[in-house]
Amino acid sequence: MVMRRRLGRTQIEVTAVGLGCWQFSAGRGLAGRFWEALPQETVNGVVAAALQRGINWFDTAEMYGRGASERALAAALLAAGQASGDVVVATKWMPLFRTAGSIKATIGERQRCLAPFAIDLHQVHQPVGLSSVELEMGAMADLVAEQKIRAVGVSNFNPARMRRAHEALAARQIPLASNQVRYSLLDRRVESDGTVAAAKALGVTIIAYSPLGQGLLTGRYHEDPGFVKTRPGPRKLMGAFRAKGLERSRRLVEELRTIAAAHGATAAQVALAWLCQFHGDTVVVIPGASRPQQAEENAGALELSLSQAELGTLDESSRRFM
């Protein structure tokens, strides 16, 4: 059985690798345009593959296709024979142009989209709302008290804002479970700005999204620089995927491949394992997958144990990205 970790100081236990479900957006909305629209049959296959390899939790959001990702995830879990309570489901409320009152006003829609699966973790998606952190956390705490959600998280919060969320929830005897942030070997700013250190001090789990740098750490784009032109969304416009960007990350990818070869693993698995292991139990990851084979490969990171020397080598090779 795959070892699990507690999500913050809650009683929820998750595998170090979960499945991010942004790519289940069905091509809808601004967020959905980053990915090709996946048929439900493919979504079912991805979710089934993740479950078969031991992954027990799934992260989605209201913003991902205006509920399309939530609905697709629920349908795939049902197709895989899962029931509410068998898995951990996380979603997010988008605060853009909204007040804290929207959290409680929209929880019914979140429940309907994810039915019959309960919401284990509900997160504030961005620090851009029209209400204070304290009012947002108060609304989330009310949902916990009403047993509409089990735990509260935030996303993209800096250390100061995370501390405010933690303190507001603590006043209601509720722990802040998590802070979901962009974090990979190619983007370590959450270390240099103190977010990871603050999470450790508060007992908050860091959930790393884009842990493979939108696929750069697989090495696929270094092997075939023209591949990015075939991908939907804005990758082809991003500097990291152009010639200079690829050269900047090439040495790191080569280090990943060297370590992967020693373990009979892949570069992606090593990149995920580094995130899960470098800070002890503080960090968990939610790579996405658009094919069942990708979900299987990502889950393989759960079985990979890196040595201190290997962790240190990758630390040194990626310090330019802090």
Those residues with Cβ within 8 angstroms of residue 257's Cβ, 6 or more apart along the chain or in another chain: 219, 267
DSSP code of 130?
Answer: S
Query: Across the chain, where does the E strand assignment appear?
Result: 4-6, 13-15, 19-20, 57-59, 88-93, 119-124, 149-155, 176-182, 205-209, 283-285
**Catalytic status, residue 209:** no
Q: Say how many CA atoms lie within 13 Å of 83 toward its Cβ.
A: 0
How far apart (Å, rounded) are the C-alpha atoms in residues 100 and 104? 8
Query: Of 64, 183, 209, 221, which is the active-site residue?
Result: 64
Those residues with Cβ within 8 angstroms of residue 230's Cβ, 6 or more apart along the chain or in another chain: none
Which residues are 123's β-sheet partners? 92, 153
Residue closest to 152 by CA, chosen among 179, 114, 116: 179
Q: Which two tokens stand for residue 279?
A: 């800070």
DSSP code of 207?
Answer: E
291: phi then psi, degrees, rounded to nearest 5: -140, 150
- Which residues are known catalytic residues? 64
